[in-house]
Amino acid sequence: MMEIRRHETALKRSNFSRPVRLAIEANLINTERTVFDYGCGHGGDVERLTKIGVDCFGWDPIYQPHAEQRDADVVNLGYVVNVIEDPEEREQALKKAWSFTHYVLIVSARLDLETKGYNQKQYGDGYVTQKNTFQKYYLQSELRDWINQVIEVESVAIAPGVFLAFRHEEDRQAFLASRQQRQLRFSFPKQKHQSQFEQHQELLQPLTDFMSNKGRIPAGEEIDNVDNICQVFGSLKRAGNIIRHTIGQEEWERIQQERSQDFLVYLALQKFVGRPRFSMLPDDLKLDIKAFWRNYTQACKEADEVLFSTGDVNIIDLACRKSPFGKLTPEALYIHTSGLSQMPPILRIYEGCAANYIGIVEEANIIKLHRKTSRISYLSYPDFDRNPHPALTSSVLVDLQKLDVMYRDYSQSKNPPILHRKETFVPTEHPSREKFERLTRQEERWGLFDHATSIGTREKWQQLLNQKGVRLAGHRLMRQK
């Protein structure tokens, strides 16, 4: 029987591993939660988490075999299951990690999107390398289904090959709802009660933040300084009314509309995995429903109506054509990721169907919403802000009909596709939009877009610049000397 050298798959990293970094960015790992790295390898994540004040410990069968194994809020099973050649032992590792989990289990594995490399021989349900290490490459759906079946929960994709399994359904729903909530703030025109608001602005700040985040006045326990506010104003409702009057009815209604739309997007996307009963929702989400709808049934009905519309390519096509920004082509609408939250609910749900399946494609900054077919593409242009015409380095296409993922790598291409008219991809308030527009006007004056179909790749574009006798210096067009 072949000897599998599992210990040689452990990597020494200079930064956090990908799943741990994603968990930190999502605030799943913080200084208020304990973390157990189950299968920690050389212990790099444990060391780095400890340095930033997280109560973290690890165990590994090769490098830390005598370390203590105990419960934690967050358990990380990072790239462990894909190096275990025995399917039964693989299952036991997942079950053991889950048994230690109080809040959330992070499970990551390599996907078939990744290059398998050369000189790998098939072995069992995976491959063996020249070093006699084993690798099991998963499909995204295969990994999700395997996790769900083994520990009997509904996992959440946070990125390709990285899934979250929450111990309690309320926590899963709270996390999913938070992913759809946009960051909004009130604007404060001069209105009546302005002087009273200004006089107590510091006291009212937590209430102001809550109302802008939720679009409703909180219940008593939802903010910390409720007693102090009630002492000055008599009740939270009176204090909330002062804030509402200060910002004006129109601004308050805008916030409420935005928040109800966020909630509809969240509810619509839960249809695929089965929406929880109302009783299983976190208390704050129950209060959100009562604030915006007659009941949970009505909210779900509205969410379903929008969700079912995403299956009609004609409705998606119309929504793309009416989009407030984005580069519209005959086949798709291209938008920068910074503007996704500003899209109408139907397009947010359309993209969310792909994101629910694959998670966040971290390196992608342009989203291609296909108008004629149910597909979403995530495109990576690493130098989008600095390069006047950035080159495509990779794409991930999610086919919503087949639930299939296709990956293409352009990083070694000598003549990759490039972008033009960057201002069309971004929302109006993007900090660099004016700079992008200025360059486009220059390029139009030089006639560089007269034959737009022939300038889509880097070599063709450079040839045209040479023919016109111009060059680019940052986001400025200059004559060649």
Residue 2 has pLDDT above 80, yes or no: no
Cβ atoms of 239 and 207 within 8 Å: the answer is: yes
CA distance 255 to 253: 5
45 falls within a domain: yes
17 & 147 share domain: yes
175 falls within a domain: no
Structural domain including 357 reads: 313-422
Residue 123: what pLDDT? 74
Domain end call among 167, 188, 221: 167
Residue 161: what pLDDT? 95
What does the pLDDT average to over 69-96? Answer: 95
What does the pLDDT average to over 200-210? Answer: 90
299 & 329 share domain: no
Residue type, 328: L
413 or 12, greater pLDDT: 413
Domain end call among 303, 331, 356: 303
Each residue of 413-441: pLDDT tens digit? Answer: 999 999 999 999 999 999 999 999 999 99
Cβ atoms of 75 and 100 within 8 Å: the answer is: yes
Per-residue pLDDT band for 132 (boundaries 50, 70, 90) equals confident
Residue 182: what pLDDT? 82
216 & 335 share domain: no
Residue 11: what pLDDT? 62
Residue 246: what pLDDT? 87
Which tokens in the block code for residue 256? 């409420």
What does the pLDDT average to over 372-379? Answer: 96
345 & 247 share domain: no
Model pTM score: 0.87
Residue 112: what pLDDT? 84
Each residue of 251-289: pLDDT tens digit? Answer: 999 999 999 999 999 999 998 878 889 999 999 999 999
368 & 294 share domain: no
44 falls within a domain: yes
109 falls within a domain: yes
**Long-range pairs for 268-273 at CB < 8 Å and ≥24 separation?**
268/303, 268/304, 268/306, 268/307, 268/345, 268/349, 268/352, 269/176, 269/180, 269/307, 269/349, 269/352, 269/353, 269/356, 270/173, 270/176, 271/303, 271/304, 271/307, 272/353, 272/356, 273/154, 273/356
Query: What percent of the chain lies above the pLDDT cut of 70?
Result: 94
40 & 82 share domain: yes
252 & 400 share domain: no
123 & 208 share domain: no
CA distance 394 to 405: 13
User: Looking at the 3D structure of the chain, how many domains does it have?
Assistant: 4
Q: Secondary structure of the chain in the HEC alphabet?
A: CCCCCHHHHCCCCCCCCHHHHHHHHCCCCCCCCCEEEECCCCCHHHHHHHHCCCCEEEEECCCECCCCCCCEEEEEEECCHHHCCCHHHHHHHHHHHHHCEEEEEEEECCECCCCCCCCCEEECCEEECCCCCEECCECHHHHHHHHHHHHCCCCEEEECCEEEEECCHHHHHHHHHHHCCCCCCCCCCCCCCHHHHHHCHHHHHHHHHHHHHHCCCCCHHHCCCHHHHHHHHCCHHHHHHHHHHHHCHHHHHHHHHHHHHHHHHHHHHHHHCCCCCHHHCCHHHHHHHHHHCCCHHHHHHHHHHHHHHCCCHHHHHHHHHCCCCCEECCCEEEEEHHHHHHCCHHHHHHHHHHHHHHCCCCCCCEEEEECCCCEEEEEECCCCCCCCCCECCEEEEEECCCCEEEEEECCCCCCCEECCCHHHHCCCCCCCHHHHHHHHHHHHHCCCCCCHHHCCEHHHHHHHHHHHCEEEECCEEEECC
173 falls within a domain: no
155 falls within a domain: yes
1 falls within a domain: no
191 or 140, greater pLDDT: 140
Mean pLDDT, the chain, whole residue set: 91
177 or 192, greater pLDDT: 177
249 & 286 share domain: yes
38 & 125 share domain: yes
351 & 294 share domain: no
144 & 188 share domain: no
256 falls within a domain: yes
Q: Which residues pair with 391 in a beta bridge?
A: 418
